[in-house]
Amino acid sequence: MEQTDAWKEEFGFDLLAWAPLPQPTQFQFYSNWLKEQRHGDMKYLETHAPLKEDPARVFGEARSLISVAVLYKPHPEPLPETPTGVRLAAYAQGGDYHDWLSARLTSFAEALKSQHPGLEYLVATDSKPLLERDLANQLGLGWTGKNTCLIHPKVGSFFLIGELLTNIDIADFTAPEPVPDFCGKCTRCMDACPTGAIVEPRKLDATKCISYWTIESKSIAPEPVRSQIGDWFFGCDICQDVCPWNEKALRLKPSALVPRSREQEIEDLRFFLTASNREIERRLGASPVLRGRPRGLRRNAMVVAGNLGLQDLKEEIARWTTDADLGELARWAFEKISRAPAS
């Protein structure tokens, strides 16, 4: 335990556990989820499925797994270029975890290598084909909540997961304590989701999810999902915000973010509606918001502006109404703004 606490302190992890390499327990559920086409147009999930069945297929030398978690509310790696006016999922309100979390894991692995000269390792965030929540669950980092997020009774669910696959045996391994499922009869996350994306406990339909439509999908959300997105510009935290376990955890660590203002929101949305691809890429820099791609961020800006009826952006929206790609969406947003009462 002392060694684990020292590692957490030195490398910036909030949770850490290790074990001989486990096998996924939920692969059949995942396979069925794919067959039901719950993943939308994320076809890479189908391609990677055979690798996710066995972590050793991802890293052939793997004999042990180290799983870590880092809280991101408030964000541990703030970025000055993060757009503060628009509504972002909490994980996106700072640097891209693919960069900073991978760097922390690499530093940790190199420190281990100095103690174990023959150590080989693979750093993984969610960029590697692993069922990481399943594996982290087995290592005692939390239980799978009805919203599909991993939940820890002391810190909630606002944390990112990372892994180290290594080729060493863990001599002083102590079996991790499994975390019981504390969801009970609570259905707050399911009840609060405006699109009904949590179709049953622990099963999410991506094609109904706000995060999917504002980040992953290259398509334009259909009605009525488009209207249900509300003012979410990038991602969504609703199913986590209403979770009692996050209410408990966040009372101990309140967000340090400055509340958004309508003036700043309009300014940010105007930027995404008028800026070139290069200007958007330059501004966002190391922000995960860039995952939405300039075209996707323009799309999101139109949806938010339309849903909020932002008269100040009517002219910027009108410029896109004849666009071959985004024209239909722009006309939808323009009509909604035109029908909205003047502010």
- List the catalytic residues: 126
Nearest partner of 210 among 191, 236, 233, judged by Cα: 236
Tokens of 325: 């790609």
Phi/psi at 206 (nearest 5 deg)? -60, -30
Distances from the Cα of 251 to the Cα of 150, 197, 240, 244, 255, angstroms: 19, 27, 14, 11, 9
Tell me, what DSSP letter sits at residue 122? E
Going by C-beta distance under 8 Å and a sequence separation of 6 or more, which residues neighbour residue 115? Answer: none
- One-letter amino acid of 180: P
The number of CA neighbours under 13 Å toward the Cβ of 341 is 1
> Is the bond preceding 74 in cis, omega lying within 30 degrees of 0?
yes
Nearest partner of 159 among 70, 42, 91, 255, judged by Cα: 70
Question: How far apart (Å, rounded) are the C-alpha atoms in residues 123 and 106?
Answer: 7
Tally Cβ neighbours within 10 Å of residue 238.
Answer: 20
Q: Is 140 helix (H, G, I), strand (E, B) or coil?
A: coil
Question: How far apart (Å, rounded) are the C-alpha atoms in residues 129 and 121?
Answer: 15
Nearest partner of 36 among 239, 221, 200, judged by Cα: 200
